[in-house]
Chain A
Amino acid sequence: MSGKIIAGLIIFVALVTFPFIYNVGKANTVPESNLDTPVIKQMAVKQCIEPRQFMRAEHMQLLNNWRDSVVRSGNRIYTASDGKQYSMSLQNTCMNCHSNKKEFCDKCHNYMAVNPYCFDCHLQPKENKS
């Protein structure tokens, strides 16, 4: 009787811990966003509108603010922290440089299991490999 219980327990523990055991030792690499696009290649200083760390952490908030600013207030021009001005447009400003949505956006979003619906309406650039 107790033999059955122990066997059952072993099977149960094996099943529950299988995903952990299976992935042991596999490098859990954080994806690196690919910046290899024609427009970025031609830039002398490879700099987004704000510093890299800020963009990494805050791009979603920034995009939300842009959205509200453009749609609801009709303000189109964003002044970055370095004083440069940009037109606030996901489709025409962001994706102009980052024309590789699959490599730039999706890689990280998939890794983080987030599913933003920006591109249900906004058009993603036609991806051309170069």
Chain B
Amino acid sequence: MFDLKNVTKLFGPLAVLDDVTLEIATGRTTVLLGPSGCGKSTLLRMLLGLVQPDAGQVRFAGTNVSGNTSRELRSKMGYVVQDGGLFPHFTCSQNVTLMASHRDWTPERIATRLDELTRLARLSPETLGRYPVETSGGQRQRVGLMRALMLDPEALLLDEPLGALDPITRADLQKDLKAAFQSLKKTVVLVTHDLAEAAHFADTVVLLEKGQIIQQGALRDLVRQPASPFVTQFVDSQRGPWEALREAIA
């Protein structure tokens, strides 16, 4: 679905992405994993054409993603950012249906689609009438997902979708997101720094550090056959609360 060849992006003298070549498979969930500043968000935004590479090529379904062509391409991609990125002056349902109205869908078609998505995102209908400030973080994220899926895109791109949530909300949403991904069978690219999240969602994990891909494949392989000491270090640093708890009790 996505095809990156020798992509480099410079911010000043610093290479945020350094000669990255990557293929993202259709219909599967790929997780871009790495510590903050590793270039994973830039890579995701580059897939959408929000960031242009300084060198190399990004292709989506065989078409070059560039400033001019990407607006049409973007309707084939859905994008969800941390905290939903909802427009504060629109209600939740206006946020979801914005592009459909802009493209002159009929009210019936909009209503039907909205209904489908409300069930998929497991959102209560009364929440849809509220403004974003009147909703919780988890609800905003669900609305963000609905907005991204409104035009039925081929790919769904999510940037730290669970980043700003408390643990309980997070666990709920994580479960519902996974169910949605499985029922939709779309190409999903998800960015996170959280190993457990990657384990939950990923068919394929791409581990980045300092703008370069360190290792990619199933998570199991990363843990069992680390390509470099950094992989081990990254995995060990996220052994999670159970280990910490066990040590504290012992």
Chains A and B are bound partners: no
Interface residues of A (CB under 8 A from B): none
